[in-house]
């Protein structure tokens, strides 16, 4: 039987609208993938009465409650207190939690403060959930047929801890199979039209716009054979064509690092409007140093000339945002750094700087490689940040296509 | 008296994690600004039982419920039905709603379909809320001392309708004042200790870790004079010292761009472990191009030597992650780019590459300027990304301190 789950987010910053709650959507998507059924979501602030009431309500709505936030060292972090009050338990220092906190602080070479000791104050009998990614241990408590899991609100810690401590408990032999297909460069509404009428062998279809990409999720019912799944994935891949870049794989940067490092190839970048964002994205991937050799951020025209020898006349004749400049950047950095591949990006991120001929969002991208240089122009809708992150994505997608 | 409000979002796409709920945060921020108190938030899917239960729970938590979603023309749009069931009312076609729908469709030159007629089916006695921005009328129903307002889920329509029909009803003369103080470099737990016993003039104190910084929020009760607020902010500033970098202002990057552009100063960066993240962060700020001139990403040792002339012997003697290399990077890029300031960052982001003498998280940062070069070493806890973003923050904070 799949479990019925309620997600409870806590934090005054959610009730004042200062923070958009992204944890709940992440948890919901992960739970969906495990076949667990999210019945409802709740958000409570920092006050004890509201917290206890929210926990009680959550436990009425589902047998498993996943609670995020309120495990920090300060006085307005009250989740452990509220859970203890709800379950009628005492609150005392957990030796196990304290040991974990001390060990983490020893590693960091820092002193455990009185405020940190508070983070070991847990409901009596709680199961401690180790936090190897931050200082606040999580915990779980069972009461009246419900189990509540409490995780920190910091998204990175919450995600790691959900995967480490909770995912396996909730997955059942009836868990459906989830296949995640990652696409780049085609809008969600058009992807939906492309998929219309396709035989999906009974799979549920989900779309998720995750800027700069769109993910397509296929959830196959329990018992669907691997062969049947493969056939469906094949049909979807045919329809998606070049926009599909990964099935159950990493993001664009992970793909680039994986593909290039396996081939022993290297990369350098010359970025203008993205100003290092593409390089920084690649460097998120552990092992990037085997591939990513060098980058230049040529934000001013002078730096384009001085760093990569882009001719002043080329810029004067075509403008800094132009195909010739993108080509010169890609080829210039490739030759300077002596890498297999060179990427050049120049564009208008906005809000200023646009014109009728070159509106805000115009980006020229070039990829120079062993058999020549390819170029792509895009006009990207959205604000400054969307333009930049989509430009970075377009560059990496173009590089992957150059290698096919 | 300020009203206690509950926000209820509906839609199966929220429970599957396909969509991040931004409506609730927008409503919460708007309500906070009106002085209304958001008690909790709930999210329900499309099934009738779950919807009715959520409405009942919401009305137990607050006297005003603002519900979004489920007013569309399709079968899984069930908000009107659920409100009718909760209040024990019949459901019938509202002449007023139908007139609004017909008039809107006439303007658009389109035919009213049977599916659109469904959108006029409202609980008996409901007050119709006109939607001049889309096709689905909203409505409100009072029952048992609670009032529920139902708005469409499309953010643009929801926002307009909230402003047009609800804001004025909830606004009071008691709106509080919020002061947000941004700090960098001191852990949340230590900040809490520093603030202990401070006279805050009755203000509520909140902490929020927003990597890489910690924000301190003071919420003053209605009627606190501007003078009294200034005195409290002054006392808190004294205690926070150098870690405070902004009161009600932008983030570190916005501060750097603002301060340097006002002074007519320029900046260049040489990044190793952060690999362009610092430059990209600065470039997020509109107008960054007046300040940010050039950057290099010197990921490999060869690139450190070739791009900035960091001597191979300096690297061999001290290691690439060392004070002399950070100084050489900062001074090298400053002199190459001819900027007022130069930043150099070199560190071990992990997960590999650490040693006992230089554990993962060790970062050397240098800022070169008109009166010399300052250096800072930090050992940053956390994963690869945390190390990188905190390193970027440390560099910008050091630059701001260099200018003081």
- Note whether B384 contacts A288, CB cutoff 8 Å: no
Task: Answer with the residue of higher pLDDT: A184 or B46.
Answer: A184
**Cβ-based contacts of A12 with chain B (< 8 Å):** 206
pLDDT, tens digit, 9 for 90 and up, residues A297-349: 998 888 888 888 888 999 999 999 999 999 999 999 999 999 999 999 999 98
Q: Grade residue B35 by pLDDT with cuts at 50, 70 and 90.
A: confident
Within 10 A of A163 (CB to CB), how many other CB atoms are there? 11
| d(C-alpha B404, C-alpha B396), whole Å | 13
pLDDT, tens digit, 9 for 90 and up, residues B110-157: 788 887 888 999 999 999 999 988 888 999 999 999 999 999 998 888
| d(C-alpha B59, C-alpha B145), whole Å | 9
- Sign for the CA dihedral angle at A55, A56, A62, A63 comes to positive
| d(C-alpha A42, C-alpha B43), whole Å | 6
B16 touches chain A (CB under 8 A): yes
Q: Is residue B290 a contact partner of residue B339, using CB atoms and an 8 Å limit?
A: no
Q: Is residue A325 a contact partner of residue A381, using CB atoms and an 8 Å limit?
A: no
- Identify the residue whose tokens are 């403060």: A113
CA distance to A162, A223, B64, B153, per residue, from A231 (Å)? 32, 15, 51, 36
Considering only A170-184, B190-204, B332-346, which range has the smallest mean pLDDT? A170-184
Instruction: Give B 192-221 residues with CB within 8 A of chain A.
Output: 192-193, 205-209, 211
Average pLDDT value for chain A = 92
Q: Grade residue B241 by pLDDT with cuts at 50, 70 and 90.
A: very high
pLDDT, tens digit, 9 for 90 and up, residues B265-302: 999 999 999 999 999 999 999 889 999 999 999 988 88
pLDDT at residue number A302: 87
Instruction: Give B 119-178 residues with CB within 8 A of chain A.
Output: 178
- Sign for the CA dihedral angle at A41, A42, A43, A46 comes to negative
Q: Is residue A346 a contact partner of residue A272, using CB atoms and an 8 Å limit?
A: yes
pLDDT at residue number A205: 83
Task: Answer with the residue of higher pLDDT: B42 or B73.
Answer: B42
- Note whether A300 contacts B294, CB cutoff 8 Å: yes
**Averaging pLDDT over each range in A184-198, A274-288, B99-113, which range is the top one?**
A274-288
pLDDT, tens digit, 9 for 90 and up, residues A125-170: 999 999 998 889 999 999 999 999 999 999 999 999 999 999 988 8
The arithmetic mean of pLDDT across residues B350-359, rounded, is: 87
Could you tell me the maximum CA-CA distance found in chain B, to the nearest angstrom? 85
Answer whether residue B2 shows pLDDT above 80: no
**CA-atom Rg of chain A in angstroms:** 25
Answer whether residue B3 shows pLDDT above 80: no
- Note whether A41 contacts B14, CB cutoff 8 Å: yes
**Cβ-based contacts of B57 with chain A (< 8 Å):** 57
| d(C-alpha B135, C-alpha B116), whole Å | 8
Considering only A161-165, A219-223, B225-229, which range has the smallest mean pLDDT? A219-223
B333 touches chain A (CB under 8 A): no
- Note whether B280 contacts A274, CB cutoff 8 Å: yes
pLDDT, tens digit, 9 for 90 and up, residues A380-395: 877 888 899 999 999 9
Structure tokens at A167: 């995912």
Q: Is residue A298 a contact partner of residue A329, using CB atoms and an 8 Å limit?
A: yes
Contacts of B325 by beta carbon, 8 Å cutoff, 6+ apart: B304, B310, B314, B315, B318, B319, B344, B346, B364
| d(C-alpha A70, C-alpha A82), whole Å | 10
- Note whether A73 contacts B19, CB cutoff 8 Å: no
Contacts of A2 by beta carbon, 8 Å cutoff, 6+ apart: A35, A36, A37, A172, A174, A175
Structure tokens at A35: 């076949």
B232 touches chain A (CB under 8 A): no
What percent helix, strand, coil does chain B show, rounded to 5?
A: 40, 25, 30
What percent helix, strand, coil does chain A show, rounded to 5?
A: 40, 25, 30
**Cβ-based contacts of A54 with chain B (< 8 Å):** 40
Residue of B26, B48, B205, B276 for testing the chain A interface, max A β-carbons within 10 Å:
B276
pLDDT at residue number A2: 62
pLDDT at residue number B145: 92
Contacts of A332 by beta carbon, 8 Å cutoff, 6+ apart: A270, A307, A308, A309, A310, A342, A344
- Note whether B292 contacts A292, CB cutoff 8 Å: no
Within 10 A of B230 (CB to CB), how many other CB atoms are there? 11
- Sign for the CA dihedral angle at B64, B68, B69, B73 comes to positive
Over pLDDT 70: what percentage of chain A? 99
For residue B69, the SS3 value is: coil
The arithmetic mean of pLDDT across residues B252-270, rounded, is: 96
Contacts of A289 by beta carbon, 8 Å cutoff, 6+ apart: B299, B300
Q: Grade residue B335 by pLDDT with cuts at 50, 70 and 90.
A: very high
Nearest to B325 by CA among B303, B345, B342, B339: B345
Find the helix or strand (DSSP H, E) in which B348 lies: none
B12 touches chain A (CB under 8 A): no
């Amino acid at each position: 039987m799949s479990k019925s789950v309620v997600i409870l987010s806590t934090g005054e910053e959610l009730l004042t609208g200062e923070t958009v709650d992204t944890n709940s959507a992440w948890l919901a998507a992960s739970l969906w993938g495990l076949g667990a059924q999210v019945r409802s979501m709740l958000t409570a602030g920092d006050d004890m009465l509201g917290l206890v009431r929210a926990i009680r309500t959550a436990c009425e709505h589902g047998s498993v409650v996943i609670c995020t936030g309120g495990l920090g060292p300060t006085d307005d972090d009250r989740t452990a207190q509220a859970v203890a009050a709800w379950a009628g338990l005492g609150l005392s220092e957990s030796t196990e939690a304290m040991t974990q906190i001390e060990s983490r602080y020893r590693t960091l070479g820092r002193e455990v403060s009185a405020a940190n000791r508070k983070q070991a104050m847990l409901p009596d009998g709680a199961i401690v959930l180790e936090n190897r990614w931050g200082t606040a241990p999580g915990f779980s408590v069972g009461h009246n047929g419900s189990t509540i899991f409490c995780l920190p609100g910091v998204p990175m810690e919450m995600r790691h801890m959900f995967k480490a401590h909770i995912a396996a408990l909730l997955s059942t032999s009836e868990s459906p199979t989830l296949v995640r297909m990652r696409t780049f460069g085609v809008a969600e509404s058009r992807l939906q039209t492309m998929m219309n009428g396709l035989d999906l062998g009974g799979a549920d279809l989900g779309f998720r716009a995750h800027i700069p990409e769109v993910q397509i999720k296929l959830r196959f019912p329990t018992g669907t054979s691997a062969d049947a799944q493969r056939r469906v994935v094949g049909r979807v891949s045919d329809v998606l064509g070049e926009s599909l870049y990964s099935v159950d794989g990493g993001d664009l940067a992970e793909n680039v690092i994986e593909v290039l490092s396996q081939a022993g190839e290297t990369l350098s970048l010359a970025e203008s409007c993205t100003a290092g964002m593409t390089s920084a994205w690649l460097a998120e991937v552990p092992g990037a140093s085997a591939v990513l050799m060098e980058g230049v951020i040529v934000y001013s025209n002078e730096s384009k000339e001085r760093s990569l020898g882009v001719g002043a006349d080329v810029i004067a004749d075509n403008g800094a945002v132009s195909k010739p400049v993108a080509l010169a950047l890609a080829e210039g950095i490739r030759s300077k750094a002596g890498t297999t591949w060179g990427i050049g990006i120049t564009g208008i991120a906005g809000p200023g700087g646009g014109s009728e001929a070159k509106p805000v969002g115009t980006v020229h991208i070039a990829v120079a490689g062993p058999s020549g240089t390819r170029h792509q122009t895009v006009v990207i809708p959205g604000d400054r940040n969307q333009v930049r992150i989509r430009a970075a994505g377009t560059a990496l997608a173009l590089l992957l296509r150059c290698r096919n």
